[in-house]
Amino acid sequence: MTNGLDKVVAITGASSGIGEATAVELASRGAAVVLGARRTDRLEALARKIRDDGGRADLLDVDVTRRADLERLVALAVDRFGRLDVLVANAGVARIAPVSALDVDDWDAMIDVNLRGVLHGIAAALPVFRAQGRGHFVTTVSTSGLKIVPTQAVYAGTKNAVRTLLEALRQESTDGVLRTTSISPGYVRTELVDHVEDPAQRAQVQEAMAALGIGPEAVARAIAFAIEQPDDVEIGDLTIRPTRQG
């Protein structure tokens, strides 16, 4: 356990994948992490592991589609550790289908989690960051928004909406108080596509992730790199993907 990263970091979607790996990585570098997700059994196991390794962790049942949950997550960080330095908005869902399938419920789910969930985090944390005089939004976006492909129209649309949102927020916040970072992972071995309803599509993407995907730890290291920069340095965009990804 190192003590170089004296930051308080709240992470949504922290129960698995990139969020879990980010919590472990940042805690190992000395950060205090506040874990948010719906699966509290997993959060409790993760927090216990971090504490057993000498780190600092707290947790909260968080559904990012509920604005009040993000407010409670930010309040927990401030109450428990005295401040909030970074909010990592990592919670996300992916539903893959052609637009013609008209899976409107899936569209709503992606908009609510991937876009509205980020907005809820910004609404909760921005006043705290402003009052403190510093703060950092890190958001997991996707290479799906960089290379547009069939069956991912709405998913990529939500990710590009977030990319646009953060860039506008950055331009509105050039007084040195706020930093924003968009992380765009490619194929990463996570549970993201495990809930794709079409069995053939689910199997196809899972196979590609298994064959090409990098570990979530690689993305966690990229997030740590952005967070560790001095306050006057902003890493605006990072794309991280397997070397064999087309």
Q: Which amino acids are annotated catalytic?
A: 155
Q: Is 202 exposed, middle or buried (0-12, 13-18, 19+ CB in 10 A)?
A: middle
CA diameter of the chain: 52
Number of Cβ atoms within 10 Å of the Cβ of 27: 25
CA distance 156 to 59: 30
DSSP 161-230: HHHHHHHHHHHT-TTSSEEEEEEEE-SBSSSTTTT-SSHHHHHHHHHHHHHHPBPHHHHHHHHHHHHHS-
